[in-house]
Amino acid sequence: MPNEYQYSVLRFVPDVVREESLNVGVLVRGPDSESFDFKLAPRTSRLRALSDRVDKSLVRNFETQLLRARSSREPIGRLGLPSDDAFFALARREFNGNLQFSQPRGIVGENLADVVAHLFSIYVHDAPAPQSPDIAPARARQRLVSIFRRHKLIGPAKVQPDYIVKGQHASWAFDLGYKNHNLNVIRSIAFSGGSEEKNLSRALLYKGMCEEVRAEHHDLEGIAVVDLPAAGKSAPGIEDAEAIMRDANIRVVKATQVDTFLSEVAADLQLV
């Protein structure tokens, strides 16, 4: 018979100021307030990719505490045992530096071991690298993210950079993304003064990305922030390229209109 479980994702934050994080494990409480289980990424996996400037032993030390709590019911300091009702709330307050807990959530499953394995495969497992077609130069993507950051739209419960979403057949990386009523994904697209074929191909690529993700997330709202060539230079096929995206229910925002778009995002996040 299915049971209800509570879980939290453990995140390692190499640079707290930049608010970037990497999922390194999951911790799950059983329905009986007695059992819990966890799984952390191997030290040779995700942790080796983190900055050398931070103390990676935090994760391993916490893993040791979890092992003791599971094997001998030894409390983790003043937090108590992970099976305690108040553990996740206390842990979120205590772990607010390089190691953090996500907001606890509920899940229904047949048994604790299967739930842990399932959550680990979703949030932590080293899956193939997300697909990210080259439809804009790196500087255009960086400029877009910087604009959002300057307007204080990036952070917890706000817009997230390097937003990865699972599609029907692969995971896809967007420049930015956020979730409120809908799943909103944003990519910068640069239309060049070169060939019509290249401009149409970039529009078709982004259309394909959004359709692939929309197959799994029906509430997807795709946004394309379009960079145009410098004044006086033409962009062959740009009208057809924009039509391709609009026909696929992708909103097209000109780079010159980005201030208006930022205001709409802030209102969408109820920051104004």
pLDDT tens digit sequence for 92-149: 999 888 889 998 988 888 889 989 998 898 888 654 545 555 555 677 788 899 999 9
What domains appear along the chain, each with residue ranges and CATH number? Answer: 3-123 (no CATH), 138-268 (3.40.91.50)
SS3 percent helix, strand, coil of the chain, rounded to 5, is: 35, 30, 35
Give the pLDDT score at 33.
Answer: 75
Alpha carbons 115 and 109: distance in angstroms, whole number: 6
What is the average pLDDT across 264-268? Answer: 93
Q: Which own/partner pairs from 116-119 qualify as long-range (CB within 8 Å, at least 24 positions apart)?
A: 116/26, 116/28, 116/37, 116/38, 116/39, 117/39, 119/7, 119/9, 119/26, 119/28
> What pLDDT was estimated at residue 236?
81
Would the CA dihedral through 203, 209, 214, 217 be positive or negative? negative
The pair of structure tokens assigned to 31 is: 């329905």
Does 54 score more than 70 pLDDT?
no
Choose between 193 and 205: higher pLDDT: 205
- pLDDT value of residue 44: 44
Query: Which range, of 48-52, 54-58, 123-127, 163-167, averages the lowest pLDDT?
Result: 48-52
DSSP letters of 127-147? Answer: PPPPB----S-HHHHHHHHHH
Whole-prediction pTM value?
A: 0.53
Look at the block and give the residue holding tokens 């692969």: 170
pLDDT at 16 over 60: no
Task: Copy the structure tokens of residue 24.
Answer: 């390194």
Chain CA centroid to CA 67, Å: 28
